[in-house]
Amino acid sequence: MIDLDGTLIHTAPEIARAANHMLAAMDRPVLAAKQIQGYIGEGAITLIKRCLTGHLTAEPDADLLAKAQNLFFDAYAQVVAESKPYPKVIEALQALKGAGMHLACVTNKPAAFTKPLLEKSGLAQYFDFVVSGDTLKKKKPEPDQIFYICEKFGISVQEAVLIGDSKTDIQAARNAGCYIFTVPYGYNQGYSIEINTVDALIDHLGDTLRFISTDQF
């Protein structure tokens, strides 16, 4: 199971463009792209709230949020498919499929954005299942998406690995009881991931087979 934003595809530039379009349309100050990148990882609505308030957990006015949500979604729909995969991602997915791995993409991004992004980037063909942020009632860090994927594959969670880039992915894997690998790039609100919080720190997706095939757990 592989996360999308910050793991497979570098989506932050396009997300920042859409967020700043939203803010400008509401006569609010635009934000640095790096600040907006630090808000990514827990779904579009959380991102919008953070852009409006400048805080990770503050709640904006409900009417303000509704207006901002429409503006952001409209703007992001225009640019979502422009994001590009990180280096070596396609080669890694090809290697994983070639080794007989079943692959699923699990993301907190709404399906309306997930599908065109995966298709335009050429990554959709590698995944047996795609579970978006609105596929189920709950998303990461809740374990529901992981349980759903494991059920679809007919495996136990103990046989599954989630690869991500953030504490949200780590919490989801721990809540579910599956393995968790993380990449050092991506979006984790500016925090580095410590080795003792994960099962493996990998430089890129291609390292996954090295850990699995050598039984390093």
Give phi and psi for 166, each to the nearest 5: -145, 170
Residue extents of the structural domains in the chain: 11-82, 84-213
What percentage of the chain's residues is helix, strand, coil (to nearest 5)?
50, 10, 40
In the chain, what percentage of residues exceed pLDDT 70? 98
Whether domain 84-213 has CATH 3.40.50.300: no
pLDDT for position 169? 96
Which of the residues 3, 5, 165, 169 is marked catalytic? 3
Prediction pTM value: 0.91
Give phi and psi for 85, each to the nearest 5: -65, 150
Residue 50 has pLDDT above 80, yes or no: yes
Contact (CB, 8 A) for 134 and 109: no
Cα–Cα dist 32/2, whole Å: 28
Over residues 112-161, the pLDDT tens digits come to 999 999 999 999 999 999 999 999 999 999 999 999 999 999 999 999 99
Average pLDDT taken over every residue of the chain: 94
- Average pLDDT for residues 165-169, to the nearest whole number? 94
Active site residue 3: yes
Tokens of 4: 């999308």
